């Protein structure tokens, strides 16, 4: 078990290295650097001045040197001030070193956000905690509802309840966040006036009034999927021999379902729920933009829109890490829950 | 000048009347399908269940809407009639006497016409991108599952690499105006669009190796048609100027194919690993068939059930992806009538006007729902066999 986890962690590290390198390459494409230089300098700057800005801020060093610097395997060089000739900070608003130091992701320095004029860490981590709260609320709503729907549908396959719930879950998987968000806002905010169509005030304090719509919107897309997986798993378990045995020895239907079927039927949904995180991540971006909630997704969009290199790299690192770690947890957890599976 | 409005009932009637070519086409196709149900194999079986009929109906509806878009829509999707800015549903345009059935948007364009024309964009890109993703996934997934070993390790690692990207991040990196100045989208297009040509060439080669009369015709056709489409799509150098794709659409197309082929790859790989243990594969191996013959003519036909279901779901998912791209204003032109862009524009003004937001959302939802219902009933029917 331990060697399996270690090997998976090794693959994970390699994947992250490859992915960050690809992201690094794509962000540092020539047109993107140009865009960054234009946004960071005054209006109507000449092409030479833009080039000078890029050289001066270290964007013209070798690709691998810069990747190594970001990673923390190469020393970060301070820039020389063209006026005085002395080494200065790359960006005045960050605590970049004035002497060459190893200061990259491995040392815990995520770099400098050019859009928000602060360090990436001070922007990214509050945003992550805000999104964490949103995610917790979503999971608290999504998991019980979807499991309940799945179990009720799969308990008696082919009945009217089953068919109704199945069609409902298919409908919910056909509703992406930007569709359900608009529909819910129209119904609950515009027509009924019950809820707030913006979660901007949720940063100060979360209330039922401003937080329900984002949570609902985010949960609805996942509910259908998890419910369908739970249903399939439940249907399979209900045809097993031991269920028939339990029924034949005279146990009531409800106790068969609760005591014998549920435990085995919930193994598959566990992996599905874990693998839902990457999907939730995309949903989070849409919902946070739609409801103006200042979290991780909002930061990602801002970083991408303004070509904020270090911030976008930080966001990619976090999202890739979340995807990979949930995959690992789902595999390990599956092996724990299902004694028939032995990992090698 | 005062704008006249139709009543809600007349708006509904007007919408139904506007779709007249669609209704006729649906009635013809569904009627024919019912009559020849027994002879239509899996497609015919769809008409045995209510879910299947609804699924087919919705998909046909949007298919015919896309085909007859110019007949159905009363206005040009980009035309602006200043008086009709944010007009409510049923507003009469005084000059032509035609009605803005679903009202006007913030740029005074007809919401109904835009919704109808939006279906064209979605129904061209989504199935085509899914088709290419299927080709890439099948061509790479078959050898990975069949041979295993090093090929499998490398290809699976690459697939997992792409799958570990959150889709939205991938789009923000791959679909930007800047990237079109670099050779990356064209390089990727050149790579992806090669796969169908390789696929069909190998397909015919393995089957008709010993029958040159058939082989040369089929290979020649594949290379000519494939090369023609390839030149048109990748280099925009179609000698007859028929096949043409805008750079930004190519960019979207490539990004969507890139995002969804690893999923197909995984499914094909899993199915291949399962099917290669069957007796008929062993029989083919004993006969001395080549590995690619076994993969393409023994394994692939037996994996078609799950693949068809997956393709249906995947078209729906691609539609959602396209909507996401539109919603974030990536790749598609800002005035493009596609549903995602329309939802983006309308959702910003939701506080004051809700009517421009509802038609595109309901259109997108119903189309994906139709595809999902279709996939669900296909799965049920193929399980019965």
Task: Considering only the beta carbons, identify the residue of A32, A181, A185 that sits closest to B178.
Answer: A32
Contact yes or no for B178 and A27 at CB 8 A: no
Say yes or no to pLDDT of A341 above 70.
no
Q: What pLDDT sits at residue A81?
A: 66
Q: Report the distance separating Cα A226 and Cα A220, nearest Å.
A: 10
Question: What whole-number distance in Å separates Cα of residue B19 and Cα of residue B16?
Answer: 5
In 3D space, the residue among B363, B364, B339, B55 whose CA is nearest the CA of residue A176 turns out to be B364
Is B117 exposed, middle or buried (CB count within 10 Å of its CB: 0-12, 13-18, 19+)? Answer: buried
**pTM tops 0.90:** no
Interior angle at CA A266, CA A265 and CA A268, nearest 5:
90
Tokens in use for B41?
């194999």
Tell me the residues of chain B between 79 and 118 that have a Cβ less than 8 Å away from chain A. Answer: none
Q: Is A183 on the interface with B (CB under 8 A)?
A: yes
CA-nearest residue to A323 within chain B is B164
Give contacts of B380 with chain A, Cβ < 8 Å.
none
The pLDDT tens digits for B47-103 are 888 888 999 999 999 999 999 888 888 888 777 777 777 777 777 777 777 777 787
Listed by number, the residues of chain B in 187-206 with a beta carbon closer than 8 Å to a beta carbon of chain A are none
Q: What is the pLDDT of residue A86?
A: 67
pLDDT score, position A83: 66
Task: Encode pLDDT of A249-259 as tens digits.
Answer: 988 888 888 88
User: Does any CB of chain B come closer than 8 Å to the CB of residue A167?
Assistant: yes
Q: How far is CA B333 from the centre of its chain?
A: 19
* Percentage of residues of chain B with pLDDT beyond 70: 99
Taking CB atoms within 8 Å and a gap of at least 24, the contacts of A67-71 are: A67/A20, A67/A21, A67/A24, A68/A104, A69/A104, A70/A24, A70/A104, A70/A105, A70/A111, A70/A310, A70/A313, A71/A20, A71/A104, A71/A105, A71/A106
Q: Are A230 and A151 in contact (CB under 8 A)?
A: yes
pLDDT number for residue A88:
66
Q: Are strands A112-113 and A79-80 parallel, antiparallel or unpaired?
A: unpaired
Nearest CA in chain A to B328: A286
How sure is the predictor about B147, in pLDDT bands with cuts at 50, 70 and 90? very high
CA–CA separation, B21 and B378 (whole Å): 27
Q: Chain B contacts of A15, Cβ < 8 Å?
A: 157, 160-161, 164
Q: Which tens digits make up the pLDDT trace of B225-238?
A: 988 888 888 887 77
Nearest-angstrom CA–CA distance, B380 and A315: 41
| pLDDT at residue B157 greater than cutoff 80 | yes
Tell me if A166 and B179 make a contact (CB, 8 A cut-off).
no
Written as six digits, the tokens of B270 are: 């899993």
Q: How far apart are CA B86 and CA B110, in angstroms?
A: 10
Backbone phi and psi for residue B132, each to the nearest 5 degrees, phi listed first: -65, -40
Q: Do A31 and B181 touch (CB under 8 A)?
A: yes
Q: Which residues of A296-320 are buried (b: 16+ CB within 10 A; e: fewer)?
A: bbbbbbbbbebbbbbbbbbbbbbbb
Pick A178's closest partner by Cβ from B166, B323, B358.
Answer: B323
ipTM, 2 dp: 0.85
Interface of B with A in 136-175 (CB under 8 A): 157, 160-161, 163-169, 172-174
- For residue A343, pLDDT over 60 is answered with no
* pLDDT per residue as tens digits for the range B4-43: 777 778 888 888 888 888 899 989 988 888 888 888 777 8
Contact A174 B369 (CB under 8 A): yes
Q: Which long-range contacts (CB under 8 A, 24 or more apart) does B313-316 make?
A: B313/B371, B313/B372, B313/B375, B314/B130, B314/B133, B314/B134, B314/B260, B314/B263, B314/B264, B315/B126, B315/B127, B315/B130, B315/B371, B316/A174, B316/B367, B316/B368, B316/B371, B316/B372, B316/B375
Residue A55 pLDDT level (bands cut at 50, 70, 90) = confident
Q: Which residue is associated with the tokens 């913006």?
A: A198
Q: Kindly report, residue by residue over B341-371, the tens digit of the pLDDT.
A: 888 888 887 777 888 888 899 999 999 999 9
**Portion 7-66 of B in contact with A at CB < 8 A:** 51
- Residue B2 pLDDT level (bands cut at 50, 70, 90): low
CA nearest to A309 within chain B:
B173
d(CA B3, CA B84): 8
- Please give, rounded to a whole number of angstroms, the shortest distance from the CA of B161 to a CA of chain A: 6
pLDDT at B130: 93
Tens digits of residue pLDDT in B257-298: 999 999 999 999 999 998 989 999 999 999 988 999 999 999
In the predicted model, what is the mean pLDDT of chain A? 82
The mean pLDDT value of chain B amounts to: 86
Say how many CA atoms lie within 13 Å of B22 toward its Cβ: 23
**Residue B268: Cβ-neighbour burial (10 angstroms; 0-12, 13-18, 19+):** buried
Strand partners, A119: A112
Select the residue of B351, B357, B372 nearest A182 (Cβ to Cβ). Answer: B357
Mean pLDDT of the A131-156 span:
89
Residue B379's pLDDT band (boundaries 50, 70, 90)? confident
A185 vs B178, B323, B350: nearest CB: B350
Question: In a 3-state reduction of DSSP, which class is residue A177?
Answer: helix
Q: Shortest Cα distance from A179 to chain B (angstroms)?
A: 5
Distance from CA of B179 to the nearest CA of A (A): 7
Distance from CA of A87 to the nearest CA of B (A): 33
Percentage of residues of chain A with pLDDT beyond 90 = 3
Per-residue model confidence (pLDDT) at position B385: 60
pLDDT tier at B337 (50, 70, 90 boundaries)? confident
Maximum mean pLDDT: which of A188-192, A315-319, B380-384: A315-319
The nearest CA of chain A is from the CA of B324 a distance in Å of 8
Chain B residues in contact with A297 by the CB 8 A cut-off are: 168
Q: What whole-number distance in Å separates Cα of residue B235 and Cα of residue B136?
A: 20
């Amino acid at each position: 078990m331990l060697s399996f986890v270690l090997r998976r962690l090794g693959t994970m590290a390699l994947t992250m290295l490859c992915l960050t390198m690809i992201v690094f390459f794509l962000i540092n494409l020539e047109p993107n650097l140009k865009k960054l230089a234009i946004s960071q300098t005054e209006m109507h700057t000449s092409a030479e001045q833009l080039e000078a800005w890029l050289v001066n801020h270290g964007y013209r060093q070798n690709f691998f040197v810069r990747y190594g610097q970001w990673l923390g395997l190469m020393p970060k060089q301070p820039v020389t001030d063209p006026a005085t000739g002395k080494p200065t900070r790359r960006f005045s608003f960050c605590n970049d070193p004035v002497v060459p130091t190893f200061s990259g992701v491995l040392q815990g320095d995520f770099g400098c956000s050019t859009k928000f004029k602060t360090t990436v860490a001070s922007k990214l981590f509050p945003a992550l905690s805000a999104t964490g709260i949103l995610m917790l609320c979503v999971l608290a709503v999504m998991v019980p509802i979807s499991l309940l729907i799945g179990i009720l549908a799969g308990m008696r396959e082919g009945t009217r309840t089953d068919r109704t719930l199945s069609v409902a879950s298919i409908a919910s998987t056909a509703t992406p966040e930007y569709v359900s968000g608009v529909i819910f806002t129209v119904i609950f905010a515009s027509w009924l006036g019950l809820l707030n169509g913006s979660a901007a005030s949720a940063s100060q304090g979360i209330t039922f009034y401003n937080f329900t719509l984002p949570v609902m919107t985010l949960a609805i897309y996942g509910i259908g999927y998890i419910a369908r997986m739970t249903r399939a798993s439940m249907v399979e378990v209900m045809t097993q021999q031991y269920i028939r045995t339990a029924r034949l020895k005279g146990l009531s239907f409800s106790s068969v379902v609760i005591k014998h079927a549920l435990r085995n039927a919930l193994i598959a949904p566990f992996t599905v729920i874990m693998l839902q995180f990457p999907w939730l991540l995309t949903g989070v971006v849409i919902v946070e933009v739609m409801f103006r909630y200042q979290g991780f997704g909002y930061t990602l969009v801002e970083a991408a829109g303004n070509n904020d290199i270090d911030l976008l790299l930080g966001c990619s690192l976090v999202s890739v890490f979340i995807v990979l770690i949930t995959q690992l947890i789902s595999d390990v957890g599956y092996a724990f829950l299902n004694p028939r599976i032995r990992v090698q | 000048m005062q704008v006249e409005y139709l009543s809600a009932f007349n708006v509904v009637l007007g919408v139904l009347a506007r779709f007249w070519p669609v209704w006729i086409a649906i009635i013809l196709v569904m009627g024919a399908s019912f009559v020849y149900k027994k002879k239509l194999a899996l497609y015919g079986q769809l008409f045995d269940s209510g879910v299947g009929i609804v699924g087919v109906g919705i998909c046909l509806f949007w298919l015919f809407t896309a085909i007859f878009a110019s007949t159905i829509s009363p206005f040009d999707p980009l035309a602006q009639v200043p008086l009709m800015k944010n007009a409510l549903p049923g507003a009469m345009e005084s000059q032509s006497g035609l009605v803005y059935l679903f009202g006007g948007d913030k740029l005074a364009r007809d919401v109904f016409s835009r919704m109808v024309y939006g279906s064209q964009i979605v129904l061209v890109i989504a199935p085509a991108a899914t088709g290419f993703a299927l080709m890439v996934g099948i061509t790479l997934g078959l050898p990975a599952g069949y041979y295993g070993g090093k090929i499998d390790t490398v290809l699976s690692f690459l697939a997992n690499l792409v799958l570990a990207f959150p889709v939205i991040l991938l789009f923000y990196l791959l679909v930007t105006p800047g990237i079109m100045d670099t050779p990356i989208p064209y390089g990727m297009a050149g790579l992806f669009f090669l796969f169908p040509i390789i696929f069909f060439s190998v397909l015919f080669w393995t089957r008709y190796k010993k029958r040159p009369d058939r082989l040369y015709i089929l290979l020649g056709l594949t290379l000519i048609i494939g090369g023609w489409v390839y030149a048109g799509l990748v280099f925009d150098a179609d000698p007859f100027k028929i096949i043409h794709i805008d750079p930004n659409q190519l960019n979207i197309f490539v990004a969507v194919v890139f995002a969804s082929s690893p999923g197909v790859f995984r499914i094909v790989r899993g199915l291949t690993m399962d099917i290669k243990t069957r007796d008929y594969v062993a029989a083919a191996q004993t006969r001395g068939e080549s590995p690619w013959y076994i993969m393409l003519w023994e394994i692939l036909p037996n994996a078609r059930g799950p693949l068809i279901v997956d393709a249906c779901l995947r078209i729906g998912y691609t539609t959602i992806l396209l909507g996401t791209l539109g919603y974030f204003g990536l790749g598609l032109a800002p005035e493009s009538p596609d549903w995602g862009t329309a939802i983006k524009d309308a959702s910003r003004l939701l506080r004051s006007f809700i009517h421009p937001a509802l038609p595109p959302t309901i259109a997108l939802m119903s189309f994906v729902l139709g595809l999902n219902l279709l996939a669900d009933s296909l799965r049920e029917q193929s399980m019965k066999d």
